[in-house]
Amino acid sequence: MISLIYDCSGLNFSVGLYQNQQLMFGKKTTESHKHSEIMVATIDDMLKQHKLHYKDLDFVATTKGPGSFTGLRVGLAFLKTLQILANIKVMAVDNFTAYAYHYYQKIQQQKFANHSIFVALDSGNQHVYLCGFNIVQNGFNKNSWLKSFNYADFASYLAENQQTIFIGNAKNLPESARQEISINALQELCFLQYRGVNVGCNFDDKAEIFYNIENLY
């Protein structure tokens, strides 16, 4: 099984090519906000190096936001093109779920009590999107708690909830809680979905940007 996983939602572009869940090739650019210039060329070169064609891919997956609107638009347009022209199975995962699974992946080998976490993502317009998850032994799920804060209000919220677990890329988060999307975690999450394993989160095959600020209220 060969899969292509990429993320255009942040400042940089990350991509991984996997065979049977083993990473064949991975790359992360440092050219911020140049997804439209480098994404397709990077993926084309990667496939050529491994003597592969798009038709050889079993599935392709990416993130659908929240994140950089331009990056998401480029990444999801590419996903939709592959779905239509090459008839490839595609998956789109929201960034909240991608972060939550990375957290769950790191602790699932440990003995832990059921608990909740919040994923805090920077909107790029002086706001933070916050989404809650319930973490249990056999998976995780959104608890339907989704809000938007301006930076000042989010800083106050953090101060008032110091015992709560926060992860994400929001600027206000402490350094220990800040991270980027893990391509490896995203690949494993999508592989489980491809195999029909339910870990308690939702997927779709629609190449559409996940969020609209008007829908948060």
Whether 147 and 171 map to the same domain: the answer is yes
Output the pTM of the full model: 0.89
Whether 83 and 186 map to the same domain: the answer is yes
Whether 165 and 189 map to the same domain: the answer is no
Residue 141 has a pLDDT of 86
Tell me the β-bridge partners of 155. Answer: none
Say whether pLDDT at 215 is over 80. no
Q: What is the pLDDT of residues 169-212, one digit of tens each?
A: 998 899 999 999 999 999 999 998 888 776 666 555 555 665 55
Whether 102 and 162 map to the same domain: the answer is yes
Q: What is the pLDDT of residues 121-146, one digit of tens each?
A: 998 788 899 999 999 888 888 887 78
CATH number at residue 131: 3.30.420
Say whether pLDDT at 213 is over 50. no
CATH number at residue 50: 3.30.420.40
Residue 207 has a pLDDT of 59
Whether 77 and 154 map to the same domain: the answer is no
| Domain total in the chain | 2
Q: Which pLDDT band, with edges at 50, 70 and 90, does 217 fall under?
A: very low
- Residue-range definition of the domain harbouring residue 74: 2-94+181-216
Whether 84 and 18 map to the same domain: the answer is yes
Q: Which pLDDT band, with edges at 50, 70 and 90, does 216 fall under?
A: very low
Whether 170 and 190 map to the same domain: the answer is no
Beta strands 139-150; 165-168: pairing state: unpaired
Whether 128 and 170 map to the same domain: the answer is yes
Q: Which pLDDT band, with edges at 50, 70 and 90, does 80 fall under?
A: very high
Whether 55 and 113 map to the same domain: the answer is no
Whether 43 and 71 map to the same domain: the answer is yes
Whether 80 and 132 map to the same domain: the answer is no
